Structures are given as C-alpha cells and as structure tokens.
Amino acid sequence: MQDNLILGVMGHIDHGKTSLVRALNGFWGDERKDEKERGITLDLSFSNLSNGERNIAFIDVPGHEKLVKNMIAGAFGLDYGMLVIAANDGIMPQTLEHLRIASLLGISDFVVAISKVDLADKAEVVVLKEQIQNLFSQFNTLKYQIFEVSFYDEASVENLKQALFELPKKIHRDLGFFRYYIDRIFVIKGSGCVVSGTLLDGNLTCDQKVWCCNLDRLIGIKNIQCHGEFVNEAKSGQRVALNLSGVSHHELKRGDLLTKKGYLRGFDRIEVALEMFVEIPHNAEVNFFIGALKMPCRVLFLDKNYATLKLKNPVYSIFNERFILRDDKQTLGGGRVLSPIVDPMKKSQKLEFLKMLDEGNLKGAFEILLQAHKKGFGLISASQRFGISQIEALKIAKEIPQCFVSEKNLVVYPKKAEELLREIILVILQKNPNALLSSALLCQKQSWVANDFAQSLLDKLLKEGVLQKNDSFYVSPKAKIGKIEDYLYRTIYALLQNQGFEPMAPYNLYDSLDIDRKSGDEVFKKLTREKKIVRLNHKLFICTQSLTQLLGAMREIIKNEGYLDLNNFKVHFNLSRKYLIAYLDYLDSFGDILNTNGKRTLKSC
C-alpha cells in the first residue's frame, strides 16, 4: 500500500517555491490568469510526486505578505514543511513569518531548500547556512536538514527528490471520525460541486454521507479523488477532492468543516493556551485562523498563558487543535485549543483546569470538572473535549476515587451528586410517604440522573434501612400501600373519578403520585380495556361515567338552544378550552350530530 506525506512549500515571495515544485514534478502551479500576469502565486497550489511506494502531496503557499491568510489555509494538516530560501536574497520577512506560523501549527520537521545557488558564490551560501542555523535556534522543537538546489542542476534537484522520498512517515491520530476543512471550491462541468482539502483524523468512503457543520445538514459524495485518481476510500492525512451532491458551490465557503454527524458541537467561545510573538491588550479584536477558516475574535486573557477567545460565529474545534492569531499586518501568535466546550467555573478553578489540560493531565482535569459540575459531567463528547475515545475517558474516570461512573450513559458523578439525589429522595418521601420509588421515576423527575446511578443509590438506601422493598419498588417504611398492582389501580381510578370533567393528563398524574410512567401507563391501558375510562386524545382520559353524563348535558343544550358551539358550551361548563374542544370533537364522532362551521346540531330524521 502506498503511503502518503503532505509537504507545505513555503518561503518569501520570488524565492522560487513554484519553480522548485516544477523542477521536482513538472507541475507549474500558477494556473490562474492573474497569477500568470503578475508572475506570483496568489492562492494555494496543489500537486504531487510519486515513486510508486511513496506519494508526496505538495501544497505551494503564497509568499507575499498580503497573502498570508491564504498561506495559513494551506499550512494546516502538513506532515513536513519545505522552507525555500533563495541563496541570492537570504532570509527575508516572509521566511521568518512562514516559519513562525508553521511552528505554531505544530509542524516540527523541515526540509530547507537553498534555491538559486547558481546566483551566489560558495562563501555566501556558507554564511546563509549559519543564518539558517541561527533562525532555527529561535525555535526549540524544530528539526531541519538543508539542501542546496539549482533549477539548472538536475543532480541537485534529484538529490532533494530522493531525500523527500526517504522522509519518515508521520503517524496520524484516529479519533474515530474524520474532519475535513474545505480549502477550495469549484465547479466541474458535468459533475457539479467539487471541494478539496486535507483529510484529518479519520478515513472517508464514497458510501458515506458527510455532515457540513456550517450548513447544519448532510451532503452526499458522488466520488472521491486523491491526486487525480478515483478511489473508494481516502485515508487520514491525504489530500482529497470530493465531488459533492445535494449542495451548490454557492452555499459553501473556504473554512467550512465536513465531518461525521453527531461528533462535533459548535461554540462561539473556546479556551486556549497562547504563544504570542506580539503583546496585545485584553479584549483586543484580531483574526482567528483554524483549519482553512478565518474569523474575527476577541482575546480575553485569563493570564499571560491562557485566554478565552470570543468568536464571531461558532467554531467546531477539538482539543489540542492549533490556531493562528493575526491582525491586518502581522502574525501576532497562536496556540492550542484546550477547552473547545467551555465550562462555567471560577477563574482560579478555570486556570487550574486549563493548566491540567495543557500538561496532558486528563485525570486532574476530570477531577476539576467534577468539582465544577455538581450534577456530573458527560463523556459522550470525549473525542472533541479531550482528544480521546469514550473508552479511554471511562478508564480515566474510573481511577478517580469517590465518584460514580455510568458506563451506559457516559456520565461521571461526584460525591456531591449522590448527596443531592439523596436529599431529593428524602423530600419526595416527606411529601408523599406512599411514593413508589424506582430508578425510572428518579430519571423521570431529574433529567441529569442516569438509571444506574439512581439504582446504586436506591440500593444503598435500602441497605441503610431508609427504604424498604415492595415488589420491584422502593418505599418508605411508613408507606401504607399493600399490593402494588391493586394500589395503583385503585388510586388512579379514584383520582380520575374525583376529577370529573377536568382529569389530569397522565404524566402530571404520575408526577403527583410519584410513580414512574411505565407503571402508570399499564394501569391506564387496563382501565381503558375494561371501558372504565375513555381515551379522547393522548393527554386526555376521562371516566366513562363522567363522559356519559357530559354527553347527555351537551345534547340537552342542543335541544334547548338549537345548537352547541364553543361559546354556549363555555357558558354551561366553565372548563378550559383544551377540554371543551376535546369534548366537542368527541361529540362529532356520533352519527346523529351535524357540525356546520363549529355549530353542532342534531340531524333531521
């Protein structure tokens, strides 16, 4: 199987980036009319070089200072950077800025191509190499190797080409789903909308639907191309063109994110670790770059290392994702997303949380989240929140003492949550000694409670003697219930009889009795089968005796007043509109009733 590398070709304008790519693979990147007229690369250019075993995708980025935003769009998802420095010009402003941007984006390995060596003498090249060494010494983590190249010397080009083929393969993480920032959109006659981008964090097949986060909808794939060849599956780390269906090229824009539905949520605030080249004030408005997306944002410093970014629109970022901050003139800095899902915390707690995330101490971060979320926090978004799978997140959570981990519901509960639920149970029993407690009831009453968490506490209270068991229910020692089935039947039927023409909706009735919905529904079904109650709609069940009495009264109104409508019905029975309409609709089901524009009359024989 052929492996793939993505190589970003960067450097100052006129240092020969496009010419170098052409020398390596024969592709001339400046295809647009305005690029040919001006003799410079204005936007991203894509090509590749293959030897059968290794495929190298080149992203040639613009070198002009006014086009850095286009350069950044192409610099995300790179395996290696190829920094081109002309021997006759040396290190220039965009050389440094491109290297800074690449380092902020986590590109740690570089091939430095000293181009145009035929235009400089050997002494100048030696000095330039020393300057390159000094340049890279400003960045602690960057590794590089230098090659001298002349476009007129095939041996120097071949030497560079061979070195590129021998670059070690990069390992791409797999979050269990793919991400794909669109960096180009165009139309092919007969095919429709086509987009290109780098496939991040997962694989993609033709039979999949892709979720466009920015459009909030599913889009189909007609076909997939990698380096001009149609494929059934694209791998993480490849440059990929997608021929899309169900969307117009007018609807999409550079920076839109395609992914798998249900895996990412968008937020207009994220919390980040910063690495700044330029000092900026608190609440400064800058340009935020992530993937191929550019967006205005405000930087709200928490301290010199951490900040909240307040964004113009929601972004669908993930933990440890890299970003760049710029103004209209220069790269200010950048950093890593630490918290793509912002949690409500005190500032001191938040700073401790971000420090834990920054250091990769996820157990410590979980413990802080448990302090902040008294009712537990979810692990369903573990891949977005922490860059790990749900299984890994559960494993970390289980290492934390005095917490309950709901594996089925992917929720971690602190000790405080158990105390809170215990208090809720005691209040229920105080108000209603005959409450029929169950895990289902507690989940029904408290949306934050998971079934297994509730069951665990009920069993603990049973062991402590706070509760007793009656059938499958947990009850107060003071309860006077007897056989559960008889109690439910007797109590629900008596309530419905007492409520007459204004019976409670089933779910409200269950809440008042403190019983779970399934148990209550069984009683309603039995009473309906026995024809003791009649179902008028999904929220209205009335005792048969009360309904018969009401229908008789409604017919009397027709006989006495000539008709029955909402108005005169209301005069005789001061009921709410929902009851009046339901009873009138039921009356319409009888064959001797005629409804003419809302007036009910008796049909003539």
Of 321-330, 351-360, 448-457, least confident by mean pLDDT is 321-330
Mean pLDDT rounded to a whole number for the chain: 89
pLDDT band for 40, please (50, 70, 90 cuts): very low
Is the pLDDT assigned to residue 368 strictly greater than 60?
Answer: yes
pLDDT band for 11, please (50, 70, 90 cuts): confident
- What residues does 311 pair with on adjacent strands? 297
More reliable by pLDDT, 139 or 296: 296
pLDDT digits (tens, 9 = 90+) for 526-556: 999 999 999 999 899 999 999 999 999 999 9
More reliable by pLDDT, 424 or 3: 424
Which residue, among 567, 508, 589, has the nearest Cα to 541 in the 3D structure? 508
In CATH, the number for domain 484-602 is 1.10.10.10
Amino acid 68: pLDDT: 56
pLDDT band for 33, please (50, 70, 90 cuts): very low
Amino acid 336: pLDDT: 95
Pick among 2.40.30.10, 1.20.1090.10, 1.10.10.10, 3.40.30.10: CATH of 267-339: 2.40.30.10
pLDDT band for 42, please (50, 70, 90 cuts): very low
Asked if 61 and 44 count as a contact pair (C-beta separation under 8 A), the reply is yes
CA dihedral 220, 222, 224, 228 (to 10 degrees): -150
Domain boundaries, the chain: 3-166, 179-259, 267-339, 416-475, 484-602
More reliable by pLDDT, 98 or 32: 98
Neighbour count for residue 118 (Cβ, 10 Å): 14
Q: What is the mean pLDDT of residues 317-340?
A: 92
Alpha-carbon span 407 to 404, nearest angstrom = 9
Is the pLDDT assigned to residue 499 strictly greater than 50?
Answer: yes
Amino acid 177: pLDDT: 87
Is the pLDDT assigned to residue 495 strictly greater than 80?
Answer: yes
Amino acid 36: pLDDT: 37
Amino acid 65: pLDDT: 47
Is the pLDDT assigned to residue 75 strictly greater than 70?
Answer: no
pLDDT digits (tens, 9 = 90+) for 387-415: 999 999 999 999 999 999 999 999 999 99
pLDDT band for 605, please (50, 70, 90 cuts): low
Backbone φ, ψ for residue 332 (5° rounding): -85, -30
Percent of the chain with pLDDT over 90: 68
Of 7-21, 381-395, 473-487, 558-572, least confident by mean pLDDT is 7-21
* Residue 405, both tokens: 């981990």
In CATH, the number for domain 3-166 is 3.40.50.300
Q: Is residue 130 helix, strand or coil? A: helix
Q: What is the mean pLDDT of residues 422-436?
A: 96
pLDDT band for 346, please (50, 70, 90 cuts): very high
Amino acid 454: pLDDT: 97
Amino acid 39: pLDDT: 37
Pick among 2.40.30.10, 1.10.1200.10, 3.40.630.10, 3.40.50.620: CATH of 179-259: 2.40.30.10
HEC profile of 10-34: ECCCCCCHHHHHHHHHCCCCCCCHH
pLDDT band for 211, please (50, 70, 90 cuts): very high
pLDDT band for 79, please (50, 70, 90 cuts): confident
Does the domain at 416-475 match CATH 3.50.50.60? Answer given as no
Amino acid 69: pLDDT: 60
Of 25-29, 133-137, 145-149, 333-337, least confident by mean pLDDT is 25-29
Alpha-carbon span 337 to 267, nearest angstrom = 12
HEC profile of 104-169: HCCCCEEEEEEECHHHCCHHHHHHHHHHHHHHHHCCCCCEEEEEECCCCCHHHHHHHHHHHHCCCC
Amino acid 197: pLDDT: 87
pLDDT band for 26, please (50, 70, 90 cuts): confident
Most confident of 2-16, 73-87, 404-418: 404-418
Amino acid 35: pLDDT: 34
Amino acid 70: pLDDT: 62
The tally of CA atoms less than 13 A away on the side-chain side of residue 368 is 20
Answer whether 3-166 and 267-339 agree in fold.
no
